[in-house]
């Protein structure tokens, strides 16, 4: 099965079922919560006890990330008394994968019994009030890649996954956002935890100055190169979604500025803020109703 699946760019319901069963045969854990770790945020797995680890290379069809800061491991275990599976790293469209391929893990998680999905990412702060190191709880998104036709739900729709025309007006669960804000307050994080709007361009280049000015006009607070395809697929198949962006840098919105965005800064901020992010995730998961 492995070689056939690895060369595929789109996956049928039966393909996903086979991949999910393959994973379930290899691990004992049966989680209902899935967490996708963004660039430099893979240390979230340090929260997990009784780990069972599967490298993506050993999972048929799974896209393998080629980007530093994305380990490429599926980590099962216990987090604050709850069974969980973490994706330590994700693949992106700019690596040459189709939107359907980068979201295969989300459908696989659904098929494995995951009902709630946490998505995390590194993002550039567009909102001028944001500081490097802030954590933004995602309240909505602008699918700029979708404006250009990059959307994992394009193509034949299998109703076994979900409806042809899924609603996206409530993509980021209100109850989970409220829980996260309450927990941030409880642990003294309110000064650097915000709520805002995320946007995605395909990348891999960072944005031009004019693009950043446009993002601001579009009511975007933080921008990145991932997450939205995963959220579209998760909502399509009926999952409850919660999202967080770590503001790893601020976008350059002045012409002729000598500053420029770079992946090294993204990884360094991820490293520096990883303990706080872990603390917030742990506090939310502890009180999560699954």
Residue 122 in contact with ligand HPA, rule: CB under 6 A? yes
Question: Residue with CB nearest ligand HPA?
Answer: 124
Instruction: Return d(Cα 125, Cα 247) in angstroms, integer.
Output: 6
SS (H, E, C) the chain: CHHHHHCCCCCCHHHHHHHHHHHHHHCCCCCCEEEEECCCCHHHHHHCEEEEEEEHHHCCCCCCCCCCCCCCEEEEEEECCEEEEEEECCCCHHHCCCHHHHCHHHHHHHHCCCCEEEEEEEEEECCCCCCCCCEEEEEEEECHHHHCCCCCCCCCCCCCCCCCCCCCCCCCCHHHHHHHHHHHHHCCCCCCEEEEEEEECCCCCCCCHHHHHHHHHCCCCEEECCCHHHHHHHHHCCCEEEEEEEEEEECCCCCCCCCCCCHHHHHHHHHHHHHHHHHHHHHHHHCCCC
Q: CB under 5 to 8 A by kind: which of ligand LQZ7MJT6, ligand HPA, none does 85 bind?
A: none
Q: And the tokens for 165?
A: 């025309």
Residue 38 in contact with ligand LQZ7MJT6, rule: CB under 6 A? yes
Is the link from the previous residue into 219 a cis peptide, with omega within 30 of 0? no
Residue 266 in contact with ligand HPA, rule: CB under 6 A? yes
* Interface with ligand LQZ7MJT6 (CB under 6 A), residue from 112, 225, 277, 280: 225
Residue 267 in contact with ligand HPA, rule: CB under 6 A? no
CB of 93 to ligand HPA, least distance (A): 12
Closer CB to ligand LQZ7MJT6, residue 63 or residue 224? 224
Closer CB to ligand HPA, residue 2 or residue 262? 262
How many of the other CB atoms lie within 10 Å of CB of 37? Answer: 28
Near ligand LQZ7MJT6 by CB under 6 A, which window of 44-52, 219-227, 230-238, 276-284? 219-227
* Interface with ligand HPA (CB under 6 A), residue from 127, 249, 253, 274: 249
Report the DSSP pairing between strands 82-88 and 222-224.
unpaired
Kindly list the catalytic residues.
39, 70, 92, 94-95, 122, 225-226, 249, 263
Residue 263 in contact with ligand LQZ7MJT6, rule: CB under 6 A? yes
Residue 201 in contact with ligand LQZ7MJT6, rule: CB under 6 A? no
Near ligand LQZ7MJT6 by CB under 6 A, which window of 27-35, 74-82, 224-232, 236-244? 224-232
CB of 65 to ligand HPA, least distance (A): 14
* Interface with ligand HPA (CB under 6 A), residue from 139, 261, 268, 278: 261
Residues that bind ligand HPA (CB under 6 A): 122-124, 206-207, 223-225, 248-249, 251, 261, 266
Residues that bind ligand LQZ7MJT6 (CB under 6 A): 38-39, 67, 90, 92, 121-122, 203, 224-227, 263, 266
């Amino acid at each position: 099965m492995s070689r056939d699946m690895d060369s595929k760019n789109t996956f049928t319901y039966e393909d996903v079922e086979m991949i999910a069963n393959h994973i379930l045969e290899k691990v004992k854990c049966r989680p209902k919560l899935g967490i996708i770790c963004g660039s430099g945020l893979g240390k979230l797995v340090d929260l997990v006890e009784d780990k069972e680890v599967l490298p993506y290379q050993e999972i048929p069809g799974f896209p393998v990330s080629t980007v530093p800061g994305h380990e490429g491991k599926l980590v099962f275990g216990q987090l604050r008394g709850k069974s969980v599976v973490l994706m330590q790293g994700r693949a992106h469209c700019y690596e040459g994968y189709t939107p359907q391929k980068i979201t295969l893990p989300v459908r696989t998680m659904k098929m494995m019994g995951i009902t709630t999905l946490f998505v995390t990412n590194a993002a550039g702060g567009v909102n001028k009030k944001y500081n490097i190191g802030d954590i933004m709880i995602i309240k909505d998104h602008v699918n700029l890649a979708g404006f250009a036709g990059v959307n994992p739900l394009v193509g034949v729709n299998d109703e076994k996954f979900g409806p042809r025309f899924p609603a996206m007006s409530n993509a980021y669960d209100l109850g989970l956002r409220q829980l996260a804000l309450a927990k941030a307050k409880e642990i003294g994080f309110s000064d650097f935890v915000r709520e805002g709007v995320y946007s995605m361009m395909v990348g891999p280049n960072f944005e031009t100055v004019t693009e950043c000015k446009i993002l601001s006009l579009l009511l975007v607070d933080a921008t990145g190169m991932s997450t939205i395809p995963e959220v579209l697929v998760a909502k399509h198949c009926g999952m409850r979604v919660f999202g967080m962006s770590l503001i790893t840098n601020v976008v350059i919105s002045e012409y002729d500025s000598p500053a420029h965005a770079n992946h090294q800064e993204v990884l360094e901020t991820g490293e520096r803020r990883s303990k706080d992010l872990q603390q917030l995730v742990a506090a939310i998961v502890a009180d999560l109703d699954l």
